[in-house]
Chains A and B, each alone.
Chain A
């Protein structure tokens, strides 16, 4: 039998599939997580495998490099890479294949690169493992690779450690290490998920360049709009099965399967404004109360002193007004100061200068004791609700605790229970969730409980800090719908923070665009998105991956 390398060296025609998988099944114990899927990947093309969490997409990716796990059982009618049958490959054979025939890029290089080793050593590791070059020639090759993926000053970066690099540079370094030996197949598992939108665009360009050079790419993603930028073919996975598989243009523009349609509809964007994401019905808005703003920030400034004793202005002279029943979106990339701004608005972080008024009255200027009775007017929902719950408390206890701070706290246990149940019903849960522990709930249910808790004291404002960013797109749609429904019912105002421009556009009436602590653009959602004035806003908008032209 000819070896894989020899077969690849024979320059098979580009139409020949590089990867051929038929009826792949993976199970852990009695649970089958991949249920008989088939796909092919061709050189110079990108196959995207799309699905929500638990769909089996990452397990599929790992199976292609033999890293499914020792407790997994894998069967397939066909599992070929470059003509070599991998169904019964030994561990040694897999190891020769990994890094050399298949490069693998995981998400978030902050945890996917070894933080204690120098970037250069990490990039050169596949070279060393596969006996490329010598101890002296490898560092130079690593620098060359870093340069090739667009890392500036590669000599300096190679000597640094991953935590000293920005998110974008780290991810490039991770890709550099995956393509070090120029493998014919590159598998990228959520390669842009933790990145800012502009950086995400750069990383996708990098993968596109590899595709141009003839590399076959298998892109694993939950994000259909990211996929649209790169994929030639798309396979949509749900619960271990491929429900739709075809050319990218067909799957994304004329989806045939109902699940694909649901996924596409659930993506918030300018097209979904004013409608619900699930079911696509129009919202029934309450008029915004243009009287006294419920929340008003005047010239807020926050300075943090770094470990190097240098002061950094994280929020610089920011002012805004939020009216009753309105949503003010704050959008910016990581480090833009949006969360710091939210914490100052909540008066849990003291501003160096400026103040916040709540319903026209002093708020941040008060002492903590004076603030306490007013706190019920402003609620908060975080990205990760689990860390904001006491894990030993039941949902019922979380809610009754929150109810006790209301203007009219429940007078008896029975009343507390009734009101907790009413809150759960408002957020689409039920009485049977009262006794549940937050740990046992799904991500979407947890976020619903967090929203119910924020609603308990009947606030006029809720600060939402990336409330749906950690959720699958279908669950994100439900949570966003819940927030808009509550606004239409109760007239609550949202200070809504997100890095996701689609979500911001879908949710907001007015928008602040933040960069490096400053507001660079401020206006109605339509003005900011249709007629952006600031170059940074324009750059953000062009970087957003889109399913279809706006």
Chain B
């Protein structure tokens, strides 16, 4: 078991390095000379610069070095936590992202947790509980799974913040202000997780071991909680690894709507200003989140279903 986890960790590091290499190559592939682009960005002009004018920039960012040297410099820097220097803010990228990372991670992890609670609650209460309840549950899942984040966000904002004034319009990172952004991300995901869980739940309810539990005198709710649930969550766990990564890159919409700090905001600004090191840095962070999330999924799998740990 420990060897399996170790080999997974090694593989994960390899994935992050591969992602870093890809973003590095993508930087090279951007058309035009990087020093010229940078000079235009810093001076707000759009013209050809002489080699002399560009020389200090080339020296500072090492654009003159052979590509292999630049690559090695970049990758070794990563292991020291050096993600390069932001073109626009002239600060280390790690610092630019670092300050914004915690709010984003809080938002996504909270959204995932709330999505799970919603999905499991609806599943437990509605699957095979009579025609009406079951149909209501499925309909709710199909509806919410198909809602776009921006729509959910705007509706929540208008109803609960503007009209009812239950929550602040611009929440910042306060706990109360985090509720609506979390729901914005959680509701569509809950519908999606609920759909896969419902299918599995329905099948597991028909299994002979469920009948066995009933013949021992177990109540319907007991059967659902103690036996069926554990079997039925496996597909949703698989999806959660993907969902966590998708949430952190998709958080930008919720962050924008509710004026919340986060790497989503940083990413949008960096893309607009062509701040390539910052964009690469965020891509790497998202890749790392995916990798960590999938490691966690593997671990969760082994805990829930020991058969897979063998």
| B307 CB within 8 Å of chain A | yes
| A287 CB within 8 Å of chain B | no
Pair A116/B217 contact, Cβ less than 8 Å: no
A95 to B214: give the CA distance in the assembly, Å: 8
| A307 CB within 8 Å of chain B | yes
- Chain A nearest CB from B141 CB (Å) reads 23
Interface centre among A103, A107, A114, A117 (most CB of B within 10 A): A114
| B212 CB within 8 Å of chain A | yes
| A320 CB within 8 Å of chain B | no
Pair B218/A125 contact, Cβ less than 8 Å: yes
Residues of B within 8 A of A113 (CB): 209, 212
Pair B216/A116 contact, Cβ less than 8 Å: no
- Chain B nearest CB from A67 CB (Å) reads 6
User: Please, which residue of chain A has its CB at the minimum distance from the CB of B204?
Assistant: A114
Pair B217/A106 contact, Cβ less than 8 Å: no
User: Please, which residue of chain B has its CB at the minimum distance from the CB of A113?
Assistant: B209
Residues of B within 8 A of A174 (CB): 212
Given A116-B306, A161-B306, A307-B310, the answer on whether A67 and B214 have CB atoms closer than 8 Å is yes
Pair B211/A116 contact, Cβ less than 8 Å: no
| A167 CB within 8 Å of chain B | no
A231 to B208: give the CA distance in the assembly, Å: 25
| B227 CB within 8 Å of chain A | yes
Q: What does the 1/0 interface line of A90-126 toward B look like (CB < 8 Å)?
A: 0000011111101110111001111111000000011
Pair B216/A129 contact, Cβ less than 8 Å: yes
| A130 CB within 8 Å of chain B | yes
Residues of B within 8 A of A117 (CB): 227
Pair A112/B217 contact, Cβ less than 8 Å: no
| B45 CB within 8 Å of chain A | no
Given A116-B304, A161-B306, the answer on whether A177 and B208 have CB atoms closer than 8 Å is no
Given A111-B208, A111-B209, A112-B208, the answer on whether A98 and B215 have CB atoms closer than 8 Å is yes
* Chain A contact patch, size range: 20 to 34
Residue from A95, A97, A98, A114 within 8 A of B209 (CB atoms) = A114
Residue from A107, A111, A115, A125 within 8 A of B216 (CB atoms) = A125
| A389 CB within 8 Å of chain B | no
- Chain B nearest CB from A5 CB (Å) reads 13
A106 to B212: give the CA distance in the assembly, Å: 7
Pair A99/B310 contact, Cβ less than 8 Å: no
Given A112-B209, A115-B209, the answer on whether A130 and B217 have CB atoms closer than 8 Å is yes
Residues of A within 8 A of B209 (CB): 111-115
Pair A116/B213 contact, Cβ less than 8 Å: no
Given A116-B230, A116-B304, A161-B306, the answer on whether A104 and B212 have CB atoms closer than 8 Å is yes
Residues of B within 8 A of A126 (CB): 216-217
Residues of A within 8 A of B207 (CB): 111
Pair B215/A65 contact, Cβ less than 8 Å: yes
Pair A98/B208 contact, Cβ less than 8 Å: no
Pair B307/A99 contact, Cβ less than 8 Å: no
Residues of B within 8 A of A161 (CB): 306-307
| A382 CB within 8 Å of chain B | no
Pair B231/A116 contact, Cβ less than 8 Å: yes
| A529 CB within 8 Å of chain B | no
A163 to B310: give the CA distance in the assembly, Å: 12
**Which B216-238 residues have a C-beta within 8 angstroms of A?**
216-219, 222, 227, 230-231
User: Please, which residue of chain B has its CB at the minimum distance from the CB of A61?
Assistant: B215
Residues of B within 8 A of A125 (CB): 213, 216, 218
Pair B212/A100 contact, Cβ less than 8 Å: no
Pair B214/A116 contact, Cβ less than 8 Å: no
A278 to B216: give the CA distance in the assembly, Å: 42
Pair B214/A98 contact, Cβ less than 8 Å: yes
A99 to B211: give the CA distance in the assembly, Å: 12
| B305 CB within 8 Å of chain A | yes
User: Please, which residue of chain A has its CB at the minimum distance from the CB of B307?
Assistant: A163
Residues of A within 8 A of B217 (CB): 95-100, 126, 129-130
Pair B307/A112 contact, Cβ less than 8 Å: no
Given A116-B231, A129-B217, A130-B217, the answer on whether A67 and B211 have CB atoms closer than 8 Å is yes
**Which A66-104 residues have a C-beta within 8 angstroms of B?**
67, 95-100, 102-104
Residues of A within 8 A of B222 (CB): 129
Given A114-B227, A115-B307, the answer on whether A95 and B208 have CB atoms closer than 8 Å is no
A67 to B215: give the CA distance in the assembly, Å: 8
A217 to B143: give the CA distance in the assembly, Å: 51
User: Please, which residue of chain B has its CB at the minimum distance from the CB of A114?
Assistant: B209
Pair B213/A114 contact, Cβ less than 8 Å: yes
Pair B305/A116 contact, Cβ less than 8 Å: yes
A503 to B216: give the CA distance in the assembly, Å: 37
Pair A99/B216 contact, Cβ less than 8 Å: yes
Residues of B within 8 A of A103 (CB): 215
Residues of B within 8 A of A62 (CB): 211
Given A112-B209, A114-B227, A116-B305, the answer on whether A104 and B215 have CB atoms closer than 8 Å is yes
- Chain A nearest CB from B134 CB (Å) reads 12
Residues of B within 8 A of A97 (CB): 217
A245 to B99: give the CA distance in the assembly, Å: 82
**Which B173-215 residues have a C-beta within 8 angstroms of A?**
207-209, 211-215
A444 to B307: give the CA distance in the assembly, Å: 35
A152 to B191: give the CA distance in the assembly, Å: 48
Interface centre among B215, B227, B305 (most CB of A within 10 A): B215
Pair B208/A108 contact, Cβ less than 8 Å: yes
Pair B230/A99 contact, Cβ less than 8 Å: no
User: Please, which residue of chain B has its CB at the minimum distance from the CB of A101?
Assistant: B217
- Chain A nearest CB from B135 CB (Å) reads 16
- Chain A nearest CB from B106 CB (Å) reads 32
- Chain A nearest CB from B274 CB (Å) reads 51
Residues of A within 8 A of B214 (CB): 67, 98
User: Please, which residue of chain A has its CB at the minimum distance from the CB of B209?
Assistant: A114
Given A161-B306, A163-B307, A307-B310, the answer on whether A112 and B212 have CB atoms closer than 8 Å is yes
User: Please, which residue of chain A has its CB at the minimum distance from the CB of B234?
Assistant: A116
User: Please, which residue of chain B has its CB at the minimum distance from the CB of A103?
Assistant: B215
A163 to B207: give the CA distance in the assembly, Å: 16
- Chain A nearest CB from B305 CB (Å) reads 6
Q: What does the 1/0 interface line of B44-66 toward A look like (CB < 8 Å)?
A: 00000000000000000000000
A24 to B60: give the CA distance in the assembly, Å: 92
Pair A129/B218 contact, Cβ less than 8 Å: yes
- Chain B nearest CB from A530 CB (Å) reads 40
- Chain B nearest CB from A110 CB (Å) reads 9
- Chain B nearest CB from A339 CB (Å) reads 23
**Which A293-322 residues have a C-beta within 8 angstroms of B?**
307
Task: Write 16 A-B pairs (CB below 8 A) sorted by A numbering.
Answer: A67-B211, A98-B216, A99-B215, A99-B216, A99-B217, A104-B216, A106-B211, A106-B212, A107-B208, A113-B212, A114-B209, A114-B231, A125-B213, A126-B216, A126-B217, A129-B218
New A-B pairs, 6, CB < 8 Å, besides A99-B216, A104-B212 = A95-B217, A98-B216, A100-B217, A103-B215, A114-B231, A116-B231
What is the interface of chain B, defined by CB distance below 8 A to chain A? 207-209, 211-219, 222, 227, 230-231, 304-307, 310
Sorted nearest first, the 3 A-B pairs with minimum C-beta distance are A104-B215, A99-B217, A99-B216
